[in-house]
Homo-oligomer: A and B are copies of this chain.
Amino acid sequence: MQETRQDRVHICEVVARDGFQNEAVFVETADKIALIDALSETGVAKIEATAFVSPKAVPALRDAAQVMAGIRRAPGVIYSALVPNLRGALAALEAGADELNLVFSASDSHNLANVRMTSTESLRAFEGIFGLARAHGKPVAVTIATSFGCPFEGPVEARRVLDFYRRCLAMGASGMALADTTGMGNPAQVERLVDAALALSPATPLGLHFHNTRGVGLANALAAYKAGARRFDAALGGIGGCPFAPGATGNICTEDTVHMFEEMGVSTGTNLSLLVSLSRRLPGLIGHETPGQVAKAGRSCDLHPAPTR
């Protein structure tokens, strides 16, 4: 496992969307903008800045348009927005999103619970969004939620996930992500599904979206990396908990993920010290401690004075 610097990993920072979406408190618009602007300086490849969703369903992100309009665009960083439907897509494009991220679930029951459509119905509804984005000259990525398991149905067949993957590519997806929405995946399964997805379309940018709900998030990221994945969603501080698991951790933590890869000799192109300092400001925004470890323990290279006797 001697990695070369060419095998670099790209981080998509999702704290402002998947992180804040799950918080009880509303993070002020100016604070969101300041955080995203600071994240723009850390070297992350992409920032999922917000979601254009129903303000009733997700009040935490009701300021999506103001956030997207207020942030400073750093060269080389992609500012994406999650959109659930045509209305959201239009709003995101008007607000200047660089990329739309469409999400649907591989399991019907989860998709029905979220958007009152089966998975296939969601895919059909995406066609209009693809058309709209094409007209605006903007790329559309698709995230397949519950790819590694559904909290209502249990295991989701890899064949079903891969069939959806293929159909999204046929519709014109510029990139794909496989999401372990409630942290049910395991490294062996991750390796198999990443293998299969990359075999299906080696040139498609493939992101992995892991949650650390059962403690195995970084092990899954490692397994995905070993299978060839190079793009990972992660949230500063590891926030973004699961509604089914009060007290459980959320997304894999950006600074912990970066620390693991950099320690392995795999570049992430990011400034870890800066990420850690931003992470340490999060409790002030959300009112509670975060699950991230490196922000508490420091980097492995941060040494301690030996006790004198």
A193-231 interface code vs B (CB 8 A; 1 in, 0 out):
000000000000000000011111011011100000000
Cα distance A289–B247 in the bound complex, in angstroms: 10
Interface residues of A in 250-309 (CB under 8 A from B): 253, 256, 259-260, 263-265, 289, 292-294, 296-301, 303-307, 309
- A191 partner residues in chain B, CB cutoff 8 A: 1
Interface residues of A in 168-211 (CB under 8 A from B): 183-189, 191-192
Report, as a range, how many residues of chain A touch the other chain: 35 or more
- Interface of chain A, main secondary structure: loop
Cα distance A33–B8 in the bound complex, in angstroms: 50
Cα distance A107–B150 in the bound complex, in angstroms: 46
| B116 and A154 form a contact (CB under 8 A) | no
Cα distance A92–B116 in the bound complex, in angstroms: 63
Contact surface of A with B, Cβ cutoff 8 Å: 1-3, 109-110, 112-113, 116, 149, 151-154, 183-189, 191-192, 212-216, 218-219, 221-223, 238, 242, 244-249, 253, 256, 259-260, 263-265, 289, 292-294, 296-301, 303-307, 309
- A216 partner residues in chain B, CB cutoff 8 A: 218, 256, 259-260, 263
Cα distance A151–B307 in the bound complex, in angstroms: 11
| B152 and A244 form a contact (CB under 8 A) | no
| A245 and B298 form a contact (CB under 8 A) | yes
Q: Give the contacting residue for A305; candidates B116, B149, B152, B299; CB below 8 A.
A: B152
| A297 and B248 form a contact (CB under 8 A) | yes
| A1 and B303 form a contact (CB under 8 A) | no
CB distance from A285 to the nearest CB of B (A): 18
| A293 and B188 form a contact (CB under 8 A) | no
